[in-house]
Structure 1
Amino acid sequence: MAAKNILPPDSPPVPVTAPPSPMRLSILVAEDSVSALRVIMTILSASGHTAVGVGDGIAAVREFQSQSFDLVLLDILMPGMDGFEATRAIKRIAAERDEWVPVLLISAVEQHGAIVKGLSTGADDFIPKPWLIEILDAKIDGFAQSIQAIRQIRAQEAEARDMVKRLAELNAHTQTELDMANRIMNRLVSCERLIDPQVRYFLMPSDRFSGDVVAISRAPNGTLYAMLADATGHGLTAAISVLPALWVFEGMARKGMPVADIATEINRRLKETLPTGYFVAAHIVALDNGSGKLWIWSGGMPPALLIDDQFNTLQVLDSPHVALGILGGGAFDPSCQAIEANFQGQCLLYSDGVIEARAGDGPMLGEERLRGALLAAEPGARIDHTIHLVEAHLSGQAPPDDTSLLAIRLSADGVDFGA
């Protein structure tokens, strides 16, 4: 801003210069004494500030309305409009601009009442006449530091608001993409393919996307195939990681391939596609209703459970293998457990999210509590009872991990699962 000196017509010009200064301010000065104004302007110029001088309060308000200033110096006793009224008007204009412009009152009046009145009108400080140059410089330098601090804070606030806005836009964009990804995942893991009168399942993701997947298929000869898979972690990454296993399972199960071959191919595909540190734990099951034989390959999962409805006994089938996608080549073991399951009962598969279900810092559900609940329930209500047990243990909270449960009725004419 160019320096100006607005004085009465008969006043000699006051020289104003503004050399560069690290604390350079634009200052409006209102003083009815020409000689006093000249002194103040000279001091300000020597200190490196840009100054505009006027001779009364009305001119000061008019000048303040026409341009912005960093600081205002006002004499209290001026014709037309005194320093008190000028302070009120200048502070009102500054507030409308959302600016903080300090006002320093200058006057020979030293009464406490004048000081109190000046501060009550909005003035930020007071300097009496006669004043020392060092005191005026010190007060202006103090205001300059405050102005710089406030500007830095406002710049940071503006940057923060801009960051919040950009984050909100990014979040909206991300949510749109996640919604699309969720719709795609739901189509890939279609619930229609999970409808089978011999199967009941329960799936509760801990996030929008589930790293637990349940798959069911029938071979041409009627053999029932089922898989419960649990990918590393949860969320979108886990959901994507388990897709190759799902595709291989469905393609091979529809052809009636042996469980060992299905496990081998899934392991090979995952080993090729997943980054190091990512893997998929799984139960893969085939049940031939005609012979009552059940084949199961288990890796990295909690034990599978076989429940005999007639004798109300429970058989534990440990998971002897490591998860899929870890071992390659000849190190992978595709051997299965072959079970004579020609009795009325159920085969229960579940992920570790079931036994690790907990509310906050409370105890986990655990294997013992789960098995006790299964044996205590009526066969037809066993699965519903287990689902309610898990939900009750979570106390309405989201599960800490994806939680899935798959129950297979071992006999096609056995006790129905119920609703």
Structure 2
Amino acid sequence: MNILVVDDFEANRCLLRCLLEEEGHNVFEAEDGKEAVEVFKRYQQDLVLMDVMMPVMNGYDAAIAIKQSLGETHVPIIFLTAVTDEEALAEALRGGGDDFLTKPFNEDILIAKIKAHSRIKDLNEEISSKNQELSTFKNIIDSETEIAEHVFLTALKNNYLDAPHLQNYVSPCSTFNGDLLLGAVGPSGNMYMIMADFTGHGLPAAIGAIPVSQQFFALAKRGVAVGDMAEELNRYLCNLLPSTMFCAAAIIEQSVTGHEFTVWSGGLPSGYVLNDNNQIRGQIQSQHMPLAALEPYEFDRQVEVFRLRPNESLFFYTDGVTEAMNSEGDMFGEERLEDMLNETGDFYVSDVVKRLDSFLAGTKAEDDITMLHVKAQPLETEVEEQPDPHSSEVVVGWELNLHLDAEALKKDISMADQLIDMLGDQDVFMNHKDYLHTIFVEFYSNALEHGILGLQSSLKDTEDGYIEYYMQRAQRLATLEDASIDINLRLVPGDPASIEITFKDSGEGFDITKIKPSCEDDSYGRGILLVRRMTDVLEYTEGGTKVFAKYPLCSASQRFQAA
């Protein structure tokens, strides 16, 4: 070590020089405090042995001056003094000294103190070096975070969530959000929304936000069906994300009339249908696995279609809401949320946030929180003028016939998916695939399960009956013989164009008389009542074995017929 010895007596300096040089140290000398400050500033020694009582400048003042010149660097100062007064020794430590030793001093103790302070100095230097590294790393992280935030904001600049019929809340639990909430206007004035919750939170979870937002905006601009959008996003994320990462999501399309909603939901908590008093009227169950959880060939694009009355609404949220945990380890839970939703009066997402904050009582949320409330009212969106793909001038009629025998039926494939694929990418079907898929699912399941297999829907009224229903379905399908379903699709040019759909089964047929009259709960979900609203014509003939529907390929504002 380089050690500065400060003493106004040369004999004392000489003694210390001999002792320290025997220990292998390099020794510098100063006769008083003023000289000590000058020598230290010139050579920056590793340790200072300082006398207290000296001419020109005493040891106290010299110690203060040396410490002030060091900044954040630590150099130990050990006072060697004949003073034994406790107050004087305390003043030495307050003035910048790190230790003291009274004269005459014990050489072994002095050497031990020097070694101890050398270790402390080394530790301080190591800490200082680590702090510098951390500071540099922090600056890099801050810079990269600023760049990342700019990229995220740029990617989301087209986000449209300021519509008057929307309320939303997004709260990340860290700098970057693993939840994603986007809105975009479609080419016909309809509106698309997506709520997504990636596995985990923070930057790793937010990685998928940029590509998903880019894909979402591009698909919305094209006006694709919700099922197609879900299928495309799933395919994209399967190629992008690691196998351990998924994206729970709800994809929603609201028609320009504001009352028709198409929803694909996978992996999110159940959403809610709220009546005009903002009380729960029904749930929107998550029907599917999260995006990227299934390979494209396994993916189910099935959607649900909801028709809401004026001032009714939909409410979606991520699991950060119900899984928020307070300091006592209690979760907010679905029951608290539903109790709040069932309170009459105006609904504000901000009220849910306040109730959640009150429940947490200062405890930091451990997951991202996102909520979306969508009211059923006509949209006030600007529509870009585009060529009308439904004009009879651009539609060429065609007809498709399929015959499914018993062997084909026993394969139990998703016939609705197959039919949608057969329609291809013709513009005339672009905004209608979800609705057509719903019709195909309904007609095919009625023909197969009720007409041919003779299953009773009443079985599904209970949980055990639901299981029994599908056990019987599997058993009867496995032993099926001499059965068939014939499908006819016919595209008819016109203004608007339409598609005529016919399903004919070889069984006992579907008993249309068992359909209940429309009631409050019939206005959302799948079913023959919904198909009736979606089509111009719906007829069951030949004892229920044949169903015919005419679906108009018209604009979104005309899509649903009066109940």
Tell me the TM-score normalized by structure 1.
0.68
Structure with bigger gyration radius: 1
Q: Would you say 1:352 and 2:326 are equivalent positions?
A: no
For the structure 1 residues 322 and 90, does the alpha-carbon distance in structure 2 shift closer, same or farther, using more than 3 Å as the test? Answer: same
Deviation at 1:351, TM superposition (A): 0.8
Counterpart residue number, 2:165? 198
Q: Would you say 1:286 and 2:263 are equivalent positions?
A: no
SS of match in other structure, 1:388: helix
Counterpart residue number, 2:77? 100
Letter in 2 for 1:410: A
1:273 to 240, 246, 255: 240
Deviation at 1:194, TM superposition (A): 1.9
Deviation at 1:212, TM superposition (A): 1.6
Map residues 197-276 of structure 1 onto 2, 5 A cutoff: 197-276=164-243
Deviation at 1:254, TM superposition (A): 2.3
Counterpart residue number, 1:401? 367
Counterpart residue number, 1:142? 109
Instruction: State which drifts further: 93-102 or 277-286.
Output: 93-102
Mapped partners of 1:372, 1:334: distance in 2: 32
Mapped partners of 1:249, 1:316: distance in 2: 25
Retained in 1: the 8 A contact 2:310–2:376?
Answer: yes
SS of match in other structure, 1:193: coil
2:356 to 380, 390, 393: 390
2:134 to 161, 164, 167: 167
Could you list the per-position Cα deviations for residues 46-83 of structure 1 after superposition, in whole angstroms to 9, with x for gaps in the alignment? 9566899x9xxxx9659985968979799xxxxxxxx9
Mapped partners of 1:95, 1:283: distance in 2: 66
Retained in 1: the 8 A contact 2:50–2:59?
Answer: no
Counterpart residue number, 2:541? none
Q: Would you say 1:410 and 2:387 are equivalent positions?
A: no
SS of match in other structure, 1:254: helix
Q: Would you say 1:295 and 2:272 are equivalent positions?
A: no
5+ residue gaps, structure 2: 68-75, 93-99, 380-563
Deviation at 1:285, TM superposition (A): 1.5
Mapped partners of 2:200, 2:351: distance in 1: 27
SS of match in other structure, 1:185: helix
Counterpart residue number, 2:274? 307
Deviation at 1:174, TM superposition (A): 2.5
Mapped partners of 1:51, 1:334: distance in 2: 80
Mapped partners of 1:62, 1:376: distance in 2: 79
Deviation at 1:295, TM superposition (A): 2.2
SS of match in other structure, 1:338: strand
Could you list the per-position Cα deviations for residues 202-245 of structure 1 after superposition, in whole angstroms to 9, with x for gaps in the alignment? 22222232222212223223333221111122223322222222
For the structure 1 residues 314 and 126, does the alpha-carbon distance in structure 2 shift closer, same or farther, using more than 3 Å as the test? Answer: same
Deviation at 1:94, TM superposition (A): 5.7
Letter in 1 for 2:376: L
SS of match in other structure, 2:201: coil
SS of match in other structure, 1:297: strand
Letter in 2 for 1:407: H
SS of match in other structure, 2:235: helix
Counterpart residue number, 2:338? 371
Deviation at 1:355, TM superposition (A): 1.7
SS of match in other structure, 1:339: strand
Retained in 1: the 8 A contact 2:7–2:50?
Answer: yes
Mapped partners of 2:195, 2:212: distance in 1: 10
Alignment RMSD (CA, Å): 4.4
SS of match in other structure, 2:370: strand
Mapped partners of 1:246, 1:45: distance in 2: 70
Mapped partners of 1:316, 1:266: distance in 2: 24
SS of match in other structure, 2:208: helix
Counterpart residue number, 2:518? none
Letter in 2 for 1:401: D
Mapped partners of 1:24, 1:388: distance in 2: 63
Mapped partners of 1:367, 1:117: distance in 2: 71
Mapped partners of 1:26, 1:321: distance in 2: 76
Mapped partners of 1:198, 1:186: distance in 2: 23
What's the % identity of the aligned pairs?
Answer: 23
SS of match in other structure, 1:200: strand
For the structure 1 residues 41 and 89, does the alpha-carbon distance in structure 2 shift closer, same or farther, using more than 3 Å as the test? Answer: closer
Deviation at 1:302, TM superposition (A): 0.3
Letter in 1 for 2:217: E
Map residues 26-175 of structure 1 onto 2, 5 A cutoff: 65=36, 93=62, 96-98=65-67, 99-101=76-78, 103=80, 116=84, 124-127=101-104, 139-175=106-142
For the structure 1 residues 409 and 142, does the alpha-carbon distance in structure 2 shift closer, same or farther, using more than 3 Å as the test? Answer: same
Could you list the per-position Cα deviations for residues 5-34 of structure 1 after superposition, in whole angstroms to 9, with x for gaps in the alignment? xxxxxxxxxxxxxxxxxx99898999999x
Mapped partners of 2:178, 2:275: distance in 1: 30
Deviation at 1:286, TM superposition (A): 2.0
Deviation at 1:92, TM superposition (A): 6.0
Retained in 1: the 8 A contact 2:322–2:334?
Answer: yes
Retained in 2: the 8 A contact 1:314–1:375?
Answer: no
SS of match in other structure, 1:348: strand
Letter in 1 for 2:316: L
The alignment of Structure 1 onto Structure 2 pairs a total of residues equal to: 356
Deviation at 1:283, TM superposition (A): 0.4
For the structure 1 residues 278 and 67, does the alpha-carbon distance in structure 2 shift closer, same or farther, using more than 3 Å as the test? Answer: same
For the structure 1 residues 45 and 165, does the alpha-carbon distance in structure 2 shift closer, same or farther, using more than 3 Å as the test? Answer: closer
Retained in 2: the 8 A contact 1:232–1:238?
Answer: yes
Mapped partners of 2:22, 2:115: distance in 1: 17
Letter in 1 for 2:182: A
SS of match in other structure, 1:377: coil
Counterpart residue number, 2:295? 328
Deviation at 1:407, TM superposition (A): 1.6
Letter in 1 for 2:286: S
Retained in 2: the 8 A contact 1:201–1:404?
Answer: yes
